[in-house]
Structure 1
Amino acid sequence: MKDEETFLLFVQSLIADRVPHERRAADGAGFSGDWANNSISEFLEAAVAWAEASDFGVRHEPDLATNKWKQFAVFLYCGKIYE
């Protein structure tokens, strides 16, 4: 991720990944496929929890501090997977 264009391509990919899960029932663990968070509030809460727990990812990937496009893309991705 390096600029607005690549960020928007990532977001479009995330949308395309989400669409098939929109109306699927969650399994016993609460997952819909590989999506851990199935409502917008769960998605955003998970993204914020990840950001708080990881210093917005810098603790695990220091270059995120200088690449804000990638940092925000990882933030959104973690909304999908972080529990």
Structure 2
Amino acid sequence: MELHEQLEQVTDQASFLAFVRALAKDRASAVQAEMKRPGSSYGPDAGGWENTSIESFLESAAAWAEDSNFGSQQGLASANPWRKFAAFLYCGKVYE
């Protein structure tokens, strides 16, 4: 299952933790791919990670939360807190 599909299935503590494990695995795979074949320094890495340091990851996640009113502008207004926080983490990966 793709990471964004797993994100859509987060509904509770167990599915949130499964998503976090999948996100960590996705990052580890991207690091391995970059070691074998480095991508451009002007775009996302091999795994689609825009933010490859913890600092940039957290900054981008926070920027997404501020810019989208924690997902309310993207249809997450009524989503449960587990789903919202999973989206927060996912956006740390992809938000610029």
TM over 0.5: yes
Shift of 1:28: 3.1
Structure 1 counterpart of 2:86 = 73
RMSD: 1.4
- What TM-score, normalized by structure 2, do the two folds share? 0.77
Please, which moves more after superposition, 8-17 or 24-33? 24-33
Structure 2 counterpart of 1:10 = 19
Indicate yes or no: 2:74 matched with 1:60: yes
Shift of 1:29: 1.6
In the alignment, the residues of structure 1 paired with residue 22 and residue 90 of structure 2 have an alpha-carbon distance, to the nearest angstrom, of 11
Q: In structure 2, what residue type is equivalent to 1:19?
A: A
Gaps of 5+ in 1: none
Q: In structure 2, what residue type is equivalent to 1:73?
A: A
- What TM-score, normalized by structure 1, do the two folds share? 0.88
- Number of matched residues? 81
In the alignment, the residues of structure 1 paired with residue 89 and residue 54 of structure 2 have an alpha-carbon distance, to the nearest angstrom, of 11
Structure 1 counterpart of 2:59 = 45
Structure 2 counterpart of 1:22 = 31
Change in CA separation of 1:19 and 1:73 when aligned onto 2, cut-off 3 Å: same
Change in CA separation of 1:55 and 1:76 when aligned onto 2, cut-off 3 Å: same
